[in-house]
Structure 1
């Protein structure tokens, strides 16, 4: 069983989540509740919970402030928040789980189930580090690897290549990372960061495209000389993007 604290400035939300955890997640024991940044820090030092269920916007600050104050401490976190597209992107970049309000019990069960698979403390710390880096601008992405979690500058990614349920991430250094996530997931993360899916197999950073050729059905040449096929249905949209 893992101990947890619930942090939210709305009492009703705290009670609902605590009730759901007791009913649907018997492996979680809520040892305290907090209504803001200061009280969350106090509750953490008093109870040393293994998990924090954390709201983003609170009366005396944000969930990011809580993470900042507890930097260096060992804990896992699941954000519970109303819809905020930027914050969701920061969570995705950092490989940190989140739940949207109103809470869906099935999604809560799934998020809690992942906690037991988290692994080493240093991996958790890297995720939290990435979250703090990305709190104001999306710079680094947390990439799960065989050895744990790797933080990589988004600027270093040239393109991503689908391999069924895996993705190969190609870096400017020539290194290729194999990740156990689908290309669709990286498309969702990177589509607002200058990346475009030119084919079901390829997600490319537009600034890395050196040329487009109509021959052989259509393909792009990247700055490093790599040629990648462009699907017919993506051709016109791609040309519009690179000639804008």
Structure 2
């Protein structure tokens, strides 16, 4: 893949260049840029298939690159020193990132993903989802990997996640999506989001979408789609305390 490195720090560009040259096959570095305008010129002057893009740069941050292209065709791997919350935003937006200082194994994994994603042409959707997620303290969109690509869904529209072995059903008021991820992965991504609670080994729920909490004949939650799901016996006490302390 023909690749450029965009970073305002010469040392950072040099380190990444050396790591890619020494440890990553199939990557040809065709240019470097210290700001967004230089990066735009490089992309417009030749074929660029992959961009390593620093997020935190003076004047214009890395996201500004996508303001110059109506339909970008290059894959992007962000380089960042962002906080844990922000890294979570990268994950749910299906955007690859490298945390500085860069790990060789993570660099290689990110490049492998970029090669597999080449041609899907969904980079703009992913970046826009990331922008939405990273500019506020609450996740706004999540990318669901479906058989024909990625589908972006508003987090607030999710009623609950339902486990089915190595798959998870994502349930909204109108639709149901099957995703080839275990429910634990969604639980890990959303564990710091107060809107979601794992009430059962098979269910991760959006408590803002609960219509009724019934304690008759056990404990059950009824959602806006009128579906009812159980609260596990061992979870009831903690769940009662959680919703009792939370303003929904």
TM-score, normalised via structure 2 length: 0.87
C-alpha distance in structure 1 between counterparts of 2:99 and 2:88, whole Å: 13
Within 5 A, what are the aligned runs for 1:1-244? 2-137=1-136, 138-173=139-174, 175-191=175-191, 192=193, 194-214=195-215, 217-244=218-245
Q: Which runs of 5+ in 1 are unaligned?
A: none
- Helix, strand or coil at the partner of 1:112: helix
C-alpha distance in structure 1 between counterparts of 2:187 and 2:67, whole Å: 29
Moved over 6 A (4+): none
CA separation of 1:36/1:85 partners in 2, compared to 1, >3 Å: closer, same or farther?
Answer: farther
C-alpha distance in structure 1 between counterparts of 2:9 and 2:128, whole Å: 27
CA separation of 1:223/1:183 partners in 2, compared to 1, >3 Å: closer, same or farther?
Answer: same
Cα distance per residue 1:50-77 (max 9 Å; x no partner): 0011111012221111122234221100
Q: How many residues align?
A: 242
CA separation of 1:24/1:219 partners in 2, compared to 1, >3 Å: closer, same or farther?
Answer: same
- C-alpha RMSD over aligned residues: 2.1
C-alpha distance in structure 1 between counterparts of 2:217 and 2:50, whole Å: 53
- Helix, strand or coil at the partner of 2:229: strand
Instruction: Give, in angstroms, the shift of residue 47 of structure 1.
Output: 3.1
C-alpha distance in structure 2 between counterparts of 1:81 and 1:209, whole Å: 37
Whether the 8 Å contact between 2:63 and 2:127 is mirrored in structure 1 is no
TM-score, normalised via structure 1 length: 0.89
- Helix, strand or coil at the partner of 1:121: coil
